[in-house]
Amino acid sequence: MKKVFPILCVVTAVLLSYALYQALEVAPTEATMGDVQRIFYYHVPSAWTAFLLFTINLVASVIYLFRRSVKADIVALVSAEVGVVFCTVVLVTGPIWARPVWGIWWTWDMRLTSTLIMWLIYVSYLMLRRFSSSGQTAMLAATLSVFGALCVPFVYFSIWFFRTQHPSPVIGGGGSLDPRMGRVLLINWLAFLFFAFVVCWSRYRLEVVKREVEEAQAMEDLALPRSAR
Amino acid sequence: MSLTRATLAKDLRLEWRSKDAINSMLFFALLVVVIFSFSFDPTAEESRHIAGGLVWVAFLFAAVVALNQTWARELRNQVLDAYRVSPAPANALFLAKAFGNFIFVIVLEALMTPLFIIFYNLRALGPAWQLPIVGALGTWALVVNGTFFAAMSLRTRSREIMLPLLLFPISIPAVLAMVEATSSILTGEYSAKFWIVLLAAYDVVFTTGCLFLFEIVLNAE
């Protein structure tokens, strides 16, 4: 396993730079938006990766609720953390693109709003993990994750109905994508997936070590007499 | 069921004698109303459009005050630990607490609504009989999740801050539905049906979720 990790890092680095080259050089310039459109190759893969990670978080939380497996808990924590990072990238790149194209930084459009609410829910998940005392964190966090997932359809439907009453610009509503752009998009997504996986993996190992240290510390704190150690 | 009734009766009696929760909620909501009235000019036409949001924000904040006190009382003298070791079903306790909070917040709303009407010159242009339905469904949505998350934040550091941080993000769709339903009834511009249905569905889903998961949260140790 230890050998695989550096190899994976190298592969990810190569893939990311290739994807960058593809996005900046190879992909055709968009006819009306110009070069600004290229942020799309970061925006969309980040969004897909974030949603994938949030799904993994839900699955791991449910597994934890049934099996009480520590591994599942760590996976849930890691996927939520990295998912929030990617979701932040989505929320930051979106306005950068929207400003020149729509003329506004932000609009309370359906997708923007639901992504923002999703982000809020997972930030509150991380806050809960940060604030709860160690023994109960896993259980409480898993419950909150299930609640967050229950909330997603409501967010979607409420915002959908709310915003269809006040029409606003929406991208990609049945629009077609140049196949070359589609290919670059997929390459970028692949690179992002590798990147997310590498980050999650190292974070996972860090968390495992952290818990081992804590456990060892707790054992020491049990105040065994020195001779008994 | 008898446990639910007993706990509910106990909570109501305690509240009736001390009036802690209702007094603090009332005063808090009153402050919100007054402060809001400075932030814009409360003329009839304007206020009709924003009153829905205003009313619910005031109730939401005030409800958090009551929700924070839900379980704090049981911590004293280890009452909660006694519940935990007793064979009584956890859900009976949860329902009692949720009903108790529901009654507190409904009483608050009943007392505050006339004030809102007076201060902001409100008059419903749509079907006013739908307002109590929206009120009841919306309050239950806040209270059922609030009771649950209050039990959850009991296990965290600085629990009073934690409750709104957990409750508000999950409640966003419900709050949106309440606000939109109330505004649509007040302005009479469009139908509130969709929002009422959405609120009812939200209530059903989250009540079920709470009942499924409460035992885990109560016993998390």
Task: Give A167-199 pLDDT, tens digit per residue.
Answer: 444 444 445 667 777 888 888 889 999 999 999
Q: Say if residue A59's pLDDT is above 90.
A: yes
Which pLDDT score, from 0 to 100, does residue A175 have? Answer: 52
Put simply, the answer to whether B162 touches A128 (Cβ < 8 Å) is yes
- For B121, the domain range is 2-219
- In 3D space, the residue among B110, B24, B90 whose CA is nearest the CA of residue B61 turns out to be B24
Residue B137 has pLDDT above 60, yes or no: yes
Average pLDDT over residues A19-45: 81
CA-wise closest residue to A43 among A150, A184, A176, A175? A184
Residue A193 · residue A24 · CB < 8 Å: no
Residue A225 domain-assigned? no
pLDDT at residue number B126: 76
Is the pLDDT at B221 greater than 70? The verdict is no
Q: Is B156 near chain A, with CB under 8 Å? A: yes
Mean pLDDT of B19-43: 80
pLDDT at residue B136, as a whole number: 92
Domain count, chain A: 1
pLDDT at B127: 81
Can you tell me the distance from the alpha carbon of B127 to that of B124, in angstroms, rounded to the nearest whole number?
7
Query: What was the pLDDT predicted at A125?
Result: 92
> Over 90: is that where the pLDDT of A133 sits?
no
Give the one of B162, B174, B220 whose C-beta lies nearest to A131's C-beta: B162
Mean pLDDT in residue range A24-45:
80
Is there a contact between B166 and A128 if contact means CB atoms under 8 Å apart? yes
Examine the pLDDT at B60 and tell me if it is beyond 70.
yes
Residue B141 C-alpha, separation from nearest chain A C-alpha, in angstroms: 12
* CATH number for the domain harbouring residue A87: 1.20.120
Mean pLDDT computed over B55-69: 88
A163 pLDDT higher than 70: no
CB distance A117–B194 less than 8 Å?
no
Q: Inspect the interface and report whether the beta carbons of A155 and B220 lie closer than 8 Å.
A: no
Q: How confident is the model at residue A60 (pLDDT cuts 50, 70, 90)?
A: very high
Residue whose structure tokens are 């934040």: B153
Average pLDDT over residues B25-29: 87
Quick check: is A63 in a domain? Answer: yes
Chain A touched by B155 (CB under 8 Å): yes
Share of residues in chain A with pLDDT > 90 (%): 26
- Number of residues that this document lists for chain B: 221
Residues of A in contact with B205 (CB under 8 A): 150, 154
Would you say residue A36 lies in a domain? yes
Residue A117 has pLDDT above 50, yes or no: yes
Would the pLDDT of A80 be above 90?
A: yes
Does ipTM come in above 0.85? no
Residue A173: predicted pLDDT: 47
pLDDT at B128 (0 to 100): 80
Find residues 176-215 of chain B whose CB sits inside 8 Å of chain A: 176-177, 180, 190, 194-195, 198, 201-202, 205-206, 209, 213
CB distance B216–A139 less than 8 Å?
yes
pLDDT digits (tens, 9 = 90+) for B167-211: 999 998 899 889 888 888 888 777 788 889 999 999 999 999 999
Q: What is the pLDDT of residue B184?
A: 86
Query: Does residue A79 register a pLDDT over 60?
Result: yes
Whether residue A226 is contained in a domain is answered as: no
Distance from CA of B148 to the nearest CA of A (A): 10
Work out the pLDDT band at A106, boundaries 50, 70, 90. confident
Residue B119 to residue A43: CA distance in whole angstroms: 47
CB contact under 8 A, A131 and B156: yes
Q: Looking at residue A122, what is its pLDDT?
A: 93
Q: How confident is the model at residue A134 (pLDDT cuts 50, 70, 90)?
A: low
Q: In chain A, what residues touch B206 (CB-CB under 8 Å)? A: 147, 150
Average pLDDT taken over every residue of chain B: 85
Q: Which domain holds residue A161?
A: 4-168+176-220
Q: Do B170 and A133 touch (CB under 8 A)?
A: no
- Residue B9 pLDDT level (bands cut at 50, 70, 90): confident
The DSSP line for chain B is -HHHHHHHHHHHHHHHHH-HHHHHHHHHHHHHHHHHHHHS---HHHHHHHHHHHHHHHHHHHHHHHHHHHHHHHHGGGHHHHHHHSSS-HHHHHHHHHHHHHHHHHHHHHHHHHHHHHHHT---SS-TTHHHHHHHHHHHHHHHHHHHHHHHHTTBSSHHHHHHHHHHHHHHHHHHHHHHHHHHHHH-SS--HHHHHHHHHHHHHHHHHHHHHHHHHHH--
Confidence at residue A164, expressed as pLDDT on a 0 to 100 scale: 54
Q: CB distance B156–A128 less than 8 Å?
A: yes
Tell me how close the Cα of B28 comes to any Cα of chain A, in angstroms.
25
Residue-level pLDDT at A101: 78
A124/B213 Cβ within 8 A: no
Q: What pLDDT was estimated at residue A166?
A: 43
User: At which residue do the structure tokens 């109590």 appear?
Assistant: B132
**pLDDT band, residue B162 (cuts 50/70/90):** confident
